[in-house]
Structure formats: structure tokens, C-alpha cells
Chain A
Amino acid sequence: MEHLDKLEADSIYILREAYKKLGKLGMLWSIGKDSTVLLWLTQKAFYGHSPFPFIHVDTKRKIPAMIAYRDKIAQEWGLELIVHTNQKAIDEGMGPEKGRLACCKALKTDALKEVVHAYGFDGLIVGVRRDEEGSRSKERVFSERQADDAWDYANQPPELWNQFKTDFPKGHHIRVHPLLAWNEIDIWEYIRRENIPIIDLYFAKNGKRYRSLGCACCTGQIDSTADTLDKIIEELKHTKTGERAGRKQDQEDSYAMQKLRKEGYM
């Protein structure tokens, strides 16, 4: 079996497990390349149907082109889209000036918690990958979050032979990670193979492009002339910098992501 075929098959298996075994299910869609691949895999797994809603946590600080792209795709694909903002925090003046980690926590983690509890989700599908950063490399495919959304990362239950965690107390939820085994290049090669429509912020304009998308305030561009899928893949095969190097919140603290994710961050 080819590498991409195997990744695709296993991700579809995971999506189908989540759909079968977890009660109320939703998928986080960040508009970025990974969660857009997830959207595509969902259509494949369920033969052109999307049997759960897509959730976008809008910090109101996203790069404007992302919002336009989101609304266009959602309409074209007929997605059930839930957009949620932690308006209270914004009204109270939350922003990166108050500290990047505090801002991520309020506008992303807390906003996400609000959606999970407002809709009563038992399962949340998230497009994180092991190769992104350290704490994600330790994740399980089905990863339990406690009633307060905390991740008990030092005491994860065993996960073997594709037998995922599907038993948990009421009020807890499961983060489902179908892309855990993919790396950044796999994602781009799959986008190229499948011809998946992707937001054009990833393609270089005037010598710069985004490698990872987030809030306008905290996401930097990289120097690049890669303006096609082929060139992006070629560039990544030779780069030695980390994918999230442009994400300022990661640089705040050596264990920034672990700390954020412990509290429920994606």
C-alpha cells in the first residue's frame, strides 16, 4: 500500500470510529490546511455526507482572508457551521498585549470550552499532528478531556491495536485526532494528489508566505517564493525550521504548548 493511501485509510477508520462510538460529535475547522484535509476525509469516509457540524472558534483577530474563505467553502459544501467567539473577553479588552498565552487561553481555549459545554459535545475532532510540537507528539488518537476540559497527560490510558477510548464518564469528552500520524509534507502531498481547494495565504506573494495560519497578530510569514503546491513541497523537503516557528505564542515559554494544551487548547 502506498504511504498516502495508508494514512488516508487509517484516518477514515478513525473518523468512522468516532461517528459510531461517540454520541454528539463536532469537528474543529480552523480554515488551515490540516483541518481542511479533515473536511475532505470526512466526505470520503461518509460518501459525500458530513454527519456532524463544523466548529470555528473565531478570535476576531484572524487574518481577514480566512473568514471570507471559510464562508465560501461552508456555503459551497453545504456545511453545518458553528462559529463561536468569546465576546465577553474581547469586550473586556483581551488581546495579545495582555500576554500571548493569556490571550490564547481566553480567546481560543475558553471559547472552545464554551462551545463544548453549550452543545454538549462528547467528541471533538481536531486536526493536530505529532510532528507539530512536543506535547502533540505524545497524544493518543482518542484523548480524554475531563469535565473541566483538562488533559491528564501524565496518566494516559493505554491505546493499542486501534482500540480507542470510547468509555468515559458523562461530562468528559474525547478529542479525536485522525491526522496524528501525518506530517506536514504528507498533508501537502495529499492536497496535491486530491486537488483539495486550499486558502491562498499559503502561497508566496512578494517573497513571503504563511506556513501555519492563526491570528493576524501572532502569526508571522516566512520568506519564500513557493507559489505552487509543487514548490511548497520542494521547499519543505529542504527546510530546517519548525512549522510553528512563526507562531509567536509557542515562543513565550519552553513548555508553552504543553501548558496551553493541558487546559484544553487544541
Chain B
Amino acid sequence: MSLNIVVVGHVDHGKSTVLGRLLYDTRSLPLGAVEKVKKIAHDTGKPFEYAYLLDAFEEEQQQGITIDTTQIQFATRKRDYIIIDAPGHKEFLKNMISGAANAQAALLVVDAKEGVQEQSKRHGYMLSLLGIRAVYVLINKMDLVGYDQHTFNDVAHDMKEFLASLGVSPLAYIPVSGLEGDNIAQLSPHTPWYKGESLLAALDLLPEGREATEKPLRLPIQDVYKFDARRIIAGRLEAGTIEPGDEIAIYPAGRTTVVTALPHWRENDKKTQAIAGESTGIQVRDEFFNKRGEIITKKGEKPPLVTRSLRASLFWLGKEPLLFHRKYKLKLATAEVEAELGAIVKIIDAAELKKQENRTEIRQNDVAEVVLKLKEEIACDLFTECPATGRFVLVDGYDVAGGGIVLAAEREDDKLREKTMKYIMEHLPYNGELTVIVEEGKVARLERVEKEVFSGLDGAGI
């Protein structure tokens, strides 16, 4: 299986150039591609740019900037890679995230002359939020600073300090020049003081991800088919394995049944077991109503969380801010549910790591910790336990406007609140609107529903 690597960093720091150079020096490009870029350079009278090998859009080449992400396949003797070039301009953060969300590892490119800039930090933060831990920092354009070791050390030091505060520790810092090819496909004579690997060699040292097969079964139901006599529950295994005879529990309801068969099309497709990553289908003994969005798990294995209230780390990409009292569609694995902002725990300036207080909306490119209220219960996991069922997107109108990872599910609190509310309604002659505030698993107090209850300073109003 191939390893996906995203290239991120501040605008113009040389991401596309480094990548174009890597592909060029390893002869990974079809002849046509290089000829085409040469012709464009010739026609426009501009110098040959390695970046054009990736920046295919006319607008990108004219402006010398990456707009949208590109995925390119690349192979070494050791394994196959998919390298994802991401844009560095702040305006295209949504495209950077589309690229980074598919990656298991990252190259963070920093210009040796300009040093650490706003998007170097913001992208670093996004990597940590997306759970990408395998990171190389490339200090690029070393040719512009005379291959100076001290400059390299200073920039590396700044980046290291920032990343350390996020809990990210890069595997290595590599001095490179995308333009000249130093330390890209092979070590350069210009940096005798550098004792590490070239980028190419470093890629092959990246660790493989852990097999999801060994984790508890997670099979989100994608659809239920009845094309012929068979009733088939279809979906892709996000973790674990499944086979006929397995006792399964289907959440959020938690109903149990037994797998009777793994149906197939041709004889060749017949299988005795389906494993993580496979798109499969199962037939079950008890044919109760199943619907898309439910998660199939194995009885006896760790169950998923079931909740109507998610505490999450979230990034917002929408032009319109994320607001209280507005309905969004939350999509998590195959589940879809109406969601509302319940509380803003904190908003973080991803470039400065400063907490921003007293805000009642989450704006474009903000990162925040929030509580989301869901209209119905869903099954999910903590992101750290099962990424595929622990992350979600929020749809605002027609577009995905944000995404996030599950930090905690707050189920018991919900129940307690509901029970208390019911008691109040039955026993007290109260006809206004009330909110039950639960703290540390106990009813702390009641509050009239007013604005500040929802504006949620540091978790109040949850």
C-alpha cells in the first residue's frame, strides 16, 4: 500500500518547486510533462519553473502560485508514494486541508531567508490537529543564504520551538534547495556540515502506519441492498475484521445479531473474512430495520460512544462564520445529523497560539474547541482511538464549511439534564425556559435561557 505525504508551508516558500525537482531528479515524470513546461516557459518568456510540473492550471502558472492541491504518484525502490502538493496562500487553506486530510506524513517547507511565517505555523497547527505526527521540516532556498549552517540552525530552532508547543516533534530538519536540487535526490557538496539524509532517502525512512485490522471492528452502514433475494448490508470496514458466525452489535441502538454470510458477485470474489479497508457486504440472522449511519461492531469488543453532544476540536473554512442558533449538517463516517453550536470552549489563533476570549462566532480559518449539540444520537469514537469514526465535517448550506475531531462525547450529562428537566416540568409550576447546568456529572444549577448561557465562556452552558 502506498504512503501519502502532504507538502505544506507558507506561500512561496518553494513547496511545488521542491516537489517538481524531486520528481524530475528521480525521473518520475513522463517526457511530455517536462516538454510541456519547457514550451510554456518558452512561449511566455519566463524561466523554467519546476513548480509548473504541479501547478497545472493556467491561472496558477500566470500568478506563480498554487491554488488547488495536486496528487502525484511517485515510487522508490522501497515503496509507492502519493505526494500531495498543497497551496500555501491563506485564502486557499480549504484546499490545503483537502490535501492534508489524506496524508499520513508531511513535509513542512520553510524558506531559509524568510524564516518561519504565519502559514508555516498555521499549517503546523493543522497537521497536529489532523493527527499527522510524521513530519520532516525542509529548510528551503539554502542557495539564497549561501548554504549557511547558522541560518539553517536558527530557522530550524524557531520552527522546533513552535512545533514543540503543539506536541509535534519532527523526525528531522533537512537543508535543501528546490531550485538547485541540493539534498533532494542526493546529498549536496554545498552542505558538508549536514550529517543527515537527503529528502529522497528520508522518505523511505518514514514509518508505516499501524494496521487498522488489529483494532475493534467498525463497519459503518453505507446502504442496504435488496436487488435480489438477498438483503445485503453494505459498507467499508474502517477497522477490524468480520466473518460469518460473528456476533455483532449495531449502534447507536446496540441491537445484536449474527453474521450469516459475506455475499459476493462472482465465485472469484468469495471470501471467508473481510478486513479493514475493504468495501464489503454482510447478511445477518435477524433482519430488523437497519439504516445508513449506524456502526456495526463486534460483541465483546470495545463499543463505540453513543451521544448527542460532542466535544471537538474544529477548524472553520466557511466564508460565513459558525454561529450559535444556526443549523448545520454534521457528517461523521456515513452518519448525517443536524447539529448546532452548543458552546465555544476556546478559540485559538493557530499562528500565535493565543486564546481569544469572548467571541460568539467562529470565523474563517479559526481553530476552536467547541461543544456541538446533535438532534439525534449517533455512534462515534474518539479520534485518537479510531480516526475514521472520530472525525466529522460540518456542511453549511451546500458546502463543507468545517471539520473536526472528537475529543469527548458527553452522554451521561445529557441524560441527567433530560431527567432533571422532566422532573421540573412535572413537579414545579414553571412555564419559562430553563437550562440545567451539569458539572462533573452532577446538576450544579438551573439557569434561565438567556444569551450568555449559550455564548458559553469556557464551557459554561454545556
Binding site for B on A (CB under 8 A): 1-3, 5-6, 8-10, 12-13, 16-17, 19-20, 43-49, 51, 130-131, 133-135, 137-138, 140, 153-154, 156-161, 163, 165, 167-169, 181, 183, 194, 239-243, 245, 254-255, 258
Contacts and interface: CB of A to CB of B under 8 A. Distances in A.
A161 B403 contact: yes
B94 A43 contact: no
B99 to A, nearest CB: 9
B331 interface: yes
A138 B57 CA distance: 9
Contact of B31 (A8, A137, A140, A240): A240
A160 B102 contact: yes
B58 A255 contact: yes
Interface residues of B, number: 65
Contact of B58 (A45, A133, A160, A258): A258
B393 A160 contact: yes
A161 B275 contact: no
A46 B69 contact: no
Contacts of B39: 254
B269 A44 contact: yes
A157 B41 CA distance: 30
A37 B269 CA distance: 16
Given A134-B57, A254-B39, A165 B222 contact: no
Q: Quick one: which of A9, A51, A241 has the most chain B CB within 10 A?
A: A9
The 8 closest A-B pairs by CB, nearest first: A134-B56, A242-B32, A160-B101, A12-B279, A158-B94, A49-B227, A240-B31, A157-B399
B427 interface: no
22 contacts: A9-B236, A45-B279, A47-B227, A47-B232, A130-B72, A138-B57, A138-B70, A140-B98, A154-B59, A158-B98, A159-B98, A159-B400, A160-B102, A161-B403, A168-B398, A169-B398, A181-B71, A239-B30, A240-B27, A242-B31, A242-B33, A255-B57
Contacts of A154: 57, 59, 67-68
Contacts of B398: 165, 167-169
A167 B32 contact: no
Q: Quick one: which of B59, B68, B269, B281 has the most chain A CB within 10 A?
A: B68
A64 to B, nearest CB: 28
Nearest to B100: A160
Interface in B393-430: 393, 395, 397-400, 403
Contacts of B227: 46-49, 51
Contacts of B40: 254
B281 A47 contact: yes
Nearest to A15: B279
Contacts of B234: 16
Interface string B220-237: 001101011010101010
Contacts of A12: 236, 279
B1 interface: yes
A20 B223 contact: yes
Contacts of A20: 222-223, 292
A254 to B, nearest CB: 5
Contact of B277 (A1, A44, A153, A161): A1
A167 B395 contact: yes
Nearest to A49: B227
B30 A242 contact: yes
A154 B95 CA distance: 10
Contacts of B269: 44
Contacts of B276: 1
Contact of B391 (A45, A130, A158, A161): A161
A257 to B, nearest CB: 9
B403 A160 contact: yes
B80 A163 contact: no
Given A3-B2, A20-B222, A183-B73, 13 more contacts: A1-B276, A3-B1, A3-B80, A9-B278, A47-B263, A134-B56, A154-B68, A158-B400, A161-B101, A161-B391, A163-B392, A167-B398, A241-B31
A2 B225 CA distance: 27
B405 to A, nearest CB: 10
A49 B72 CA distance: 33
Nearest to B278: A9
Nearest to B332: A163
Contacts of A10: 279
